[in-house]
Structures are given as structure tokens and as C-alpha cells.
Amino acid sequence: MNNINPDRFSGTNTSAVSYDAGLKSHMNRVYARMSFGVLLSAVVSIFMANSPELLKLFLSGPQAYIVMFAPVAIVFFGFNPARMSSNTLRLSFIAISVLYGISFSSIFFMYNIGDISRAFLLATIMFSGLSIFGYTTKRDLGPLATFAFMGVLGVFAMSILNGFFFKNEGLADIISLVSIVAFAGVTAWETQNMKQLYNAANGDEGNSRIAWSGALTLYISFVAIFMNLLRFMGGGRD
């Protein structure tokens, strides 16, 4: 009878355990940063909503468009994980979260706090379920991501056109529905993508930059799902 040496597999087992621990730490870092962004935006929006002077300064007049489109500009031109350091990405992420928070302050005048709370809770439940699916599924979600990002681009373009030209409520409802579906797909795919991109060989700096990229994508997805759910669920102020 052949003797099996348990030490033969010890190296493989140790490597697997080390990888699992590293991956868990990496995903926790992604979600912690994403959650920090959501919390920061919430704090800023509440602070803004309680300051008439700041509301007038940022959201009254042409400067409101600067606040509205500044986060998009930073995402496209001031957030490059391939070239920027982790510290610089952190500053960009904070700036985006603050600017979104300023923009979101108007929802406290448009919707009841109960509607806002329910939409936030439902968005959290949806986001959690989609992330769990993206993390555990064995199916390649790449094809889903292609359609999801096409939907996001279409929603962005139609939102601008409807906001400035059409101003059609029915079209706005369709845009919100498509947006929820599109960002749901982005959430599941990005979770899977973060899992696949992790590699201990990237080093702490490399994985940190990847984590900031994932945190930003998931932050934007969560915010989009929340805002569009609020549009459907909110009855407006009485």
C-alpha cells in the first residue's frame, strides 16, 4: 500500500488559503471605499439641504450645471487607475462623492423622507443581491456588461435630450426603468470583474488602484439605482 505524504499538498493548500484571504481583503476594501463614498455623499447632501446659503451658492444659477456635470468630467478626465497613484485616485473619488452629494441635496425638497428611506433600503437590498450574484456565479458576465454599458450610454444621452428638449414625463419613466436594469447589470459584472482582477502579484499599490476603480463603478451604480427607484417610489412632498 502506497504511503501518502500530507506535506506534499501543504504548499498548494497554503497558497490557496493565502489567495482566499487576500481576495477577501481586496473585496472588503472595495466595498468599504464604495460605502464611504455613499456615506460622504449622504452627509454632504443633508448638510447642504439645511443651509439655504450653500444651496443658493451651488444650485442657484448657471453654476448648478457645473456642479451637475463636474463629477462626469472627473470620472472621464481625472480618474485613471492605469496612470494615477492610489492616493490621487482617493482624492478624485472624494471629490466625486462630494459633488454628487451637493447635487443630491435637492431630493430633500422634492421627496418625503419616508420615500427617500424606502428607496435607499430597496437599493441596498438590490445592490447586495446583485453583488452576491456577481461574486458567486460561474457564468461569464462579460456579454452582459456589453449590453449594460450600452444601456448606460443610451440613458445618459436620452436624459440630456429629455432634460433640455423633450421634457416628457413618460419618456423620463422609461429612462429610469432602463437605467435601473442597466446599472443592475453593471453591478453584477463589476463585482465579478473585481474578483477576477485581484492578483497578489500586483502588489498593494496595484490592487489598491484596482480597488478604487471598482469602488467608483459600484458607487455610481448604487447611486443610479437609488435615484431611479426614488423617482418611481416617491410621491413628492405633500
> What integer pLDDT is reported at residue 19 of this predicted model?
83
Is residue 108 within 8 Å of 94, Cβ to Cβ?
Answer: no
> What integer pLDDT is reported at residue 57 of this predicted model?
92
> What integer pLDDT is reported at residue 17 of this predicted model?
81
Position 6 in a domain: no
Is residue 218 within 8 Å of 35, Cβ to Cβ?
Answer: no
Q: In the chain, what's the furthest Cα-to-Cα distance?
A: 85
Position 159 in a domain: yes
Phi/psi at 76 (nearest 5 deg)? Answer: -85, -30
Q: State the DSSP code for 165.
A: I
Rounded distance, CA 15 to CA 41, Å?
39
Position 138 in a domain: yes
Rounded distance, CA 194 to CA 207, Å?
10
Q: What is the mean pLDDT of each run of 10 residues along the chain (238 residues)?
A: 52 75 95 98 96 92 88 91 96 97 93 94 97 96 94 92 86 92 97 96 96 97 96 69
Position 30 in a domain: yes
Position 10 in a domain: no
Which three cell numbers, joined as nine digits, stand for 235?
410621491
- Residue type at position 151: G
Query: Domain containing 194: what range?
Result: 19-233
Rounded distance, CA 236 to CA 100, Å?
21
> What integer pLDDT is reported at residue 169 of this predicted model?
85
> What integer pLDDT is reported at residue 9 of this predicted model?
47
CA distances from 15 to 12, 22, 71, 112, 210 (A): 5, 10, 41, 52, 22
CA distances from 184 to 76, 79, 229 (A): 21, 22, 12
Which three cell numbers, joined as nine digits, stand for 178?
432602463
Position 139 in a domain: yes
Position 3 in a domain: no
Which three cell numbers, joined as nine digits, stand for 107?
431630493
Q: Which of 30, 23, 7 is nearest to 190 (CA)?
A: 30
> What integer pLDDT is reported at residue 236 of this predicted model?
58
Q: How many domains are contained in the chain?
A: 1
